[in-house]
Structure 1
Amino acid sequence: MPALFRHVVALLACLTLTSLVQAELKPTPAKNIEAAAVVKHYAELVYAVYSDAESSARQLQMQIDDFLAAPSQAGLIAAQQAWKTARIPYQQSEVFRFGNPVIDDWEYQLNSWPLDEGLIDYVADDYFAALGNIGGDLNVIANPSINLGGEILDASIINSDLLRSLHELGGSAANVATGYHAIEFLLWGQDLHGHKLGAGERPHTDYSLGSQCSNGNCDRRAAYLHTAASILVEDLSYMVKQWAPNQAKNYRKELLSLNSQIVLARMFNGMGSLSLGELGGERIKVSLEANSTEDEHDCFSDNTHWSHYYNGLGIENVYLGRYKRLDGQLLTGPALSDLVRQANPEVDAKTRKTLSATMASLKVLSDTAEASERPVKFDMLIAEGNDQGEAILSAILNALVTQTRAIEAAASAINIDPTATGL
């Protein structure tokens, strides 16, 4: 066994043991927590997460507009950092999917991936779009008039209507024209480093006007980035309104009118689906088995480790009924953990242990990527023959499998069928 591999395994074992010991510290016993109280707090938690997602998107929009007003390297870096900050609450929100139709019918506008970036802007000469995708190399920024198989699309004015019409053009999910990853591509550009260290290296002069403009069409590129940021804020504002309290008619009002057992099922469904199917399957296992940087979630920015970490944290948040807001405020209240502990303390303890173990394994991933010396990013870890990556990512996958089984047991302990979502 290579020395580096042994080191990773030992580190994982140490962190997992520490996590399990901490989980043994039992919380204050819950007293007569009702399902309705857990449901109400869940709605409050969702509202807080999306409110943070909206406010951080507005900060991103402001940084982008400041950068576009006077393009500079410092301004580009500030906008990139604002994008990374905006991902923190949004990734924690993904656990609310897979059961809340208002979210399931909407989230594709914000977080679709992977994308054929040739739809949006210039790409490297060796770029290949998804097979059969009519929009994979349209380069909207460079072409004010687009021929779609004989139909001419007027793209002379880049605005919200145009970008929304291009999103999933021709029914292809690879045609991502709006959302976080379209903005990510416009801020970083393609990551041409493959499995080596390095993210996208788009120059700030791609947004400069006149003779300073690099790669052409800087005015249209700026219009696209500005519009995409505006759409992101608009979409998140819509979701905040859907979860706002004291509204005569919105999704939160509808949810709170349902039988509490149905809402609890939706909560468990979201946790289990994100845990194993989405995070474990689509976002980690597929990338690892295919050794494919194209399947990396935040591929342009090399921010994937944090994307996965905050997905995991979102799952833990729902079970524990807590959320640490961007301003540092800790939101807590009646939780699924309380209900399970009342019914079966041993099952609750095991569930909390598995959640802690998953977060410990995800922390190894983020620590490895953020190391001050020799950082190893997700796209490096998934390279063929990378023993370190195999160890770290397999540990996460194993933790997610165990966690998902524990979530199912927790649901069963309070007689909840996670598939009985009423949809």
Structure 2
Amino acid sequence: MNHVKFARNLITASLFVIPSISQATTQSEVVEHYADIAHAVYSDSLSTAQKLDKAITTFLNNPSKDGLETVKLAWKEARVPYQQSEVFRFGNAIVDEWEGQLNAWPLDEGLIDYVADDYQYELGNDGAKANIVASKSIKIGAETIDVTSIKAEQLADLNELGGSEANVATGYHAIEFLLWGQDLNGTNSGAGERPYTDYVIGSACTNGNCERRAEYLKAASELLIKDLSWMEKQWKEGEKNYRAELLSESSEQGLRKMLFGMGSLSLGELAGERMKVALEANSTEDEHDCFSDNTHNSHYYNEQGIYNVYTGTYTRADGSQLSGPSIHDLVAKKDAKAAKEIKQQFDATRTQVGTLVSAAEKDNQHFDQLIAADNAVGNALVNKSIMSLVLQTASIERAANVIGITSLNPDTADHEF
């Protein structure tokens, strides 16, 4: 699958055809279909992570420039379904408590591997330059930790080492850093440029410790698959799992979780933490996929995930479409005019966030360039996306009111808009 082509196709208007509204649609059917979408998204996240792992293994067996590019493409493709899964975080505690091991950011990459001499890190973080790849042991405060063995379980234990959230040893962004290396371009064009020779065993190895670096990359990939396998099982039908727990609750509570998740990702997380923070600080350190310059796609697929839950639709990794009873259907049954207006706002916001993808792919203006202090046009584009997400959140709250779901209160992450 061509990732760039896939991303561009998703932005085209009228991609999803919302099924005709069934007057028999019930709240419980909508919640059950929500669980179906969650299972499909996590299944796709798992399968694309397995493809990434296969590409990593092939590359490590015979490192080459083309091989590294193949792995990078596989990483980007793995991000497509996973970013659409984040709408399930908020409201579903089992997801929110789990996701940090897979998607925590920003991270102090010096914990993992070599960094530039002028590397800026979180002040007071003893692990910020620990460099696990180059070390058999690391010292955090008074504690000395043996890292002779680089295995998945050991890496998981190093997350938030010394109490610092910036110490991230696992997940998509740890793998991203191991593939791209630091992006040293600031707000200028360009992503990280790690050479493939960082993985060549023997005299051609660059920057030292190539064998341990390869062990780290493989271990991080294996842990990613293990974690995604566990979550996929939590949403599988017919099991004693979280899905069964969710569906045993009242349909009103299920809808509240759906709407809270949509609103919290839309407002506090995507508009706030992922866009507003980076824009106001003009900070590439607060960019989501900062090593690969893939942030525009991460933002877009977060928005797509919100859209999926509202419309009851999802385009799977194999291109097939999943559709069923939706919140949109419930709103339309109660108030056709409101349903039309809310859907229009969702479409407008998805299109607006899609302009970040267009800026990157057509104009070579990636997110780290758009947030530069001297880029007034880029700043305005990001701010317009933020404000559209704010309006979308208002529409989510309106939808909740129409179908009688109270006490929504989407998370603002302490941001004011």
Q: Partners of 2:125 and 2:392 in 1: how far apart?
A: 37
Deviation at 1:349, TM superposition (A): 1.0
Correspondence 1:182 to 2:171: no
Correspondence 1:289 to 2:280: yes
Deviation at 1:150, TM superposition (A): 3.3
Deviation at 1:359, TM superposition (A): 1.0
Whether the aligned pair in 2 keeps the contact of 1:343 and 1:414 (CA below 8 Å) is yes
Whether the aligned pair in 1 keeps the contact of 2:283 and 2:371 (CA below 8 Å) is yes
Deviation at 1:128, TM superposition (A): 2.2
Correspondence 1:264 to 2:244: no
Q: Partners of 2:157 and 2:284 in 1: how far apart?
A: 28
Q: Partners of 2:282 and 2:403 in 1: how far apart?
A: 41
Normalized against structure 2, the TM-score is what? 0.93
Q: Partners of 1:316 and 1:418 in 2: how far apart?
A: 21
Q: What's the counterpart of residue 224 of structure 1?
A: 216
Correspondence 1:327 to 2:318: yes
Stretch of structure 1 that moved more, 343-352 or 308-317: 343-352
Q: What is the root-mean-square deviation of aligned Cα atoms in Å?
A: 1.7
418 and 367 in structure 1: CA distance in 2 versus 1, 3 angstrom threshold = farther
Q: Partners of 1:133 and 1:252 in 2: how far apart?
A: 39
Q: What's the counterpart of residue 54 of structure 1?
A: 46
Point out where structure 2 has 5 or more consecutive residues left out of the alignment.
Answer: 1-10, 411-417
Correspondence 1:148 to 2:140: yes
Could you tell me which amino acid in structure 2 is paired with residue 97 of structure 1? Answer: R
Deviation at 1:129, TM superposition (A): 1.7
Deviation at 1:418, TM superposition (A): 5.1
Question: Residues 125-174 of structure 1: CA distance to partner in whole angstroms, max 9, x if unpaired?
Answer: 00122011111110000011222333221111111222011111122110
Correspondence 1:172 to 2:164: yes
128 and 295 in structure 1: CA distance in 2 versus 1, 3 angstrom threshold = same
SS of 2:306 mapped into structure 1: helix
Point out where structure 1 has 5 or more consecutive residues left out of the alignment.
Answer: 1-15
Deviation at 1:362, TM superposition (A): 1.5
Q: What's the counterpart of residue 246 of structure 1?
A: 238
Q: What's the counterpart of residue 370 of structure 2?
A: 381
Normalized against structure 1, the TM-score is what? 0.92
Q: Partners of 2:64 and 2:314 in 1: how far apart?
A: 36
Q: Partners of 2:209 and 2:116 in 1: how far apart?
A: 16
Q: How many equivalent pairs are there?
A: 399
The equivalences for 1:11-50 within 5 A come to 28-50=20-42
Whether the aligned pair in 2 keeps the contact of 1:112 and 1:181 (CA below 8 Å) is yes
Q: Partners of 2:84 and 2:275 in 1: how far apart?
A: 17
Deviation at 1:348, TM superposition (A): 1.1
Could you tell me which amino acid in structure 2 is paired with residue 267 of structure 1? Answer: M
Q: What's the counterpart of residue 279 of structure 1?
A: 270
SS of 1:135 mapped into structure 2: coil
Question: Residues 94-153 of structure 1: CA distance to partner in whole angstroms, max 9, x if unpaired?
Answer: 001111011011001100000000000000000122011111110000011222333221
Q: Partners of 1:178 and 1:144 in 2: how far apart?
A: 18
Could you tell me which amino acid in structure 2 is paired with residue 400 of structure 1? Answer: L
Q: What's the counterpart of residue 126 of structure 2?
A: 134
Identity of aligned residues (%): 54
142 and 58 in structure 1: CA distance in 2 versus 1, 3 angstrom threshold = same
Q: Partners of 2:18 and 2:253 in 1: how far apart?
A: 28
